[in-house]
Amino acid sequence: MDGDLVLVVNSGSSSIKYQLVAPESGTVVAAGLMERIGESGGGALEHTADGRTLSDHVTIPDHTAGLRLAFEKFAETGHDLASAGVTAVGHRVVHGGEVFYRPTLVDDRVLATIDELSALAPLHNPANVRGIEAVRTLLPGVPQVAVFDTAFFHGLPDAAKTYAIDAQVAAAHGIRRYGFHGTSHEYVSGRVAEFLGRPAESLKQIVFHLGNGASVSALRGGRPVDTSMGLTPLEGLVMGTRPGDLDPGIILHLMRTVQLDVDGVDRLLNRRSGLRGMAGVNDFRELRRLIGEGHEPARLAYDVYVHRLRHYLGAYLIELGGVDAITFTAGVGENNPDVRADALAGLSGFGIAVDHDRNTAPERTARRISPPDAKVDVLVVPTNEELAIARAAAALTEKA
């Protein structure tokens, strides 16, 4: 018995990430990543428990098979999930539409509604549904909680969430800014208030979540007032494989001139754009290596990436009427000092500066990277979406 634990499951279209977490302490008992689910060349699994990593290369036909395999790995490493004291399972669900804006206990109706919302997130929600169904079979009787990536942004002001298109079309099809990475933006902005020792209600914040997907949010008093992702996670910042902001006319032009169809547009925007589209690689470490070798497209991709960060920084600075804290999080935001320095370069007139030594120190915990006397606190705060999901699931099931 490990005591009260929450299994956190994040099912992507061809991947599953999972963690077994003690929600109070944040201790990760075991964690794993499964990739290339459903792909003919075979899948890959890495499962880490008690400092030991098991790797496997096997065909993983679908999410049910994937989760069954994960459960076997848990048992092999001494954490049989049927007897490990799992009190809840928390699922990251990408799109909650207008329906779900807080963590929600999953029943048949909730599951059907998440499935219906697939029209808004065709790459994500079906995978989330499959993950929930698989865990239901494997851990019957354990409550499952859906934690929505869109939930935190539910109360965005009308002017920030409304697209300037035909209002009837928008209303009929649920077209509005929903925003994503909400669990991360909520967790990180809360940690910022803790770190600064100030109530969240008193702070104006800008949070850059820069991972493979990337988004930025503006918060006043702990609540988001704007965010860069929109109806889907395609809008906003430049990402690993997605373009972020784009003139919609580009799509019309390609549809007319080279007869690009829906699937072609989908591939172009979700897989062949962003850093990969411009420079051939979507991993930021690879991009930096190419830049070091004098690869011009990589340099341009980096410049476009930073340009977009500054574009949003400027917009949100004005929307908020000033800022107290600017925070970087996720893979790139936490690990790449150049991006942080370049995004905020030349802004001392706004009270925004980055201290070179603090910015390049190899620390991993929440830290301040602005000079001690700077008006605006610039911070690096590691995100932990899994812990936030585990805590939300534990809180909801304790109440039930």
Active site positions, annotated: 149
What whole-number distance in Å separates Cα of residue 3 and Cα of residue 18?
A: 18
β 377-380/367-368 pair status: antiparallel
- Listed residue (105, 245, 121) closest to 174, CA to CA: 121
Q: Read off the DSSP letter of residue 350.
A: G
CB of 91 to ligand ADP, least distance (A): 16
* Phi, then psi, of 80 in degrees rounded to 5: -55, 115
Among 284, 302, 316, 328, binds ligand ADP (CB under 6 A): 284
Residue 116 CB, shortest distance to ligand ADP, in Å, is: 26
If the CB atoms of residues 15 and 125 are measured against ligand ADP, the closer one turns out to be: 15
Rounded Cα distance, 10 and 297, in Å: 33
Q: Which span sits near ligand ADP by CB under 6 A: 61-69, 200-208, 266-274, 283-291?
A: 283-291
Compute the distance between CA of residue 290 and CA of residue 309 in angstroms, rounded to an integer.
21
Q: Please report whether residue 335 would count as binding ligand ADP according to CB under 6 A.
A: yes
- We find the least distance from the C-beta atom of residue 380 to ligand ADP, in angstroms, to be 12
Q: Which of 133, 253, 231 is nearest to 177 (CA)?
A: 231
56 near ligand ADP, rule: CB under 6 A: no
Q: How far is the CB of 17 from ligand ADP (least distance, A)?
A: 8
Distance CA(216)–CA(32), nearest Å, equals 27
CA distance 86 to 3: 8
**Min. distance of Cβ 382 from ligand ADP in angstroms?**
10
CB of 117: closest distance to ligand ADP in angstroms? 21
Judged by beta carbon, residue 332 or residue 353, the one nearer ligand ADP is 332
Q: Which stretch, 167-175, 226-234, 279-287, 297-305, contacts ligand ADP (CB under 6 A)?
A: 279-287
Nearer to ligand ADP, 102 or 285 (CB): 285
Half-sphere exposure of 347 (CA within 13 A, CB side): 26
DSSP for 135-156? Answer: HHHHSTTS-EEEEETTGGGTT-
Residues binding ligand ADP: what is the number (CB under 6 A)? 12
What gap in Å lies between CA 136 and CA 54, rounded to an integer? 25
Minimum CB distance to ligand ADP, residue 242 (Å): 11
* Complete DSSP assignment for 232-251: STTSSS--SS---S--THHH
Contact 51, 43 (CB under 8 A): no
* Binding to ligand ADP in span 154-213, by CB under 6 A: 211-213
Closer CB to ligand ADP, 325 or 339, in the complex = 339
Q: Does 285 bind ligand ADP (CB under 6 A)?
A: yes
46, 283, 338, 355: which one contacts ligand ADP (CB under 6 A)?
283
Among 145, 330, 347, 381, binds ligand ADP (CB under 6 A): 330
CB 62 within 8 A of CB 56: no
**Residue 181 or residue 204: which is nearer to ligand ADP going by CB?**
181
Judged by CB under 6 A, the residue of 13, 113, 336, 360 near ligand ADP is 336
Q: Which of residues 228-267 bind ligand ADP (CB under 6 A)?
A: 240
Handedness of CA 291, 294, 297, 302 (dihedral sign): positive
| Segment near ligand ADP (CB under 6 A); pick from 24-32, 46-54, 332-340, 369-377 | 332-340
Measured between its terminal Cα atoms, the distance across the chain in Å is 23
Tell me how far apart the alpha carbons of residues 153 and 156 are, in angstroms, rounded to a whole number.
6
* CA–CA gap between residue 385 and residue 189 (Å, rounded): 12
- By CB under 6 A, which span of 256-264, 299-307, 331-339, 350-358 interacts with ligand ADP? 331-339
The one among 131, 224, 230, 331 contacting ligand ADP by CB under 6 A: 331
**Which residues bind to ligand ADP, rule: CB under 6 A?**
211-213, 240, 283-285, 330-332, 335-336
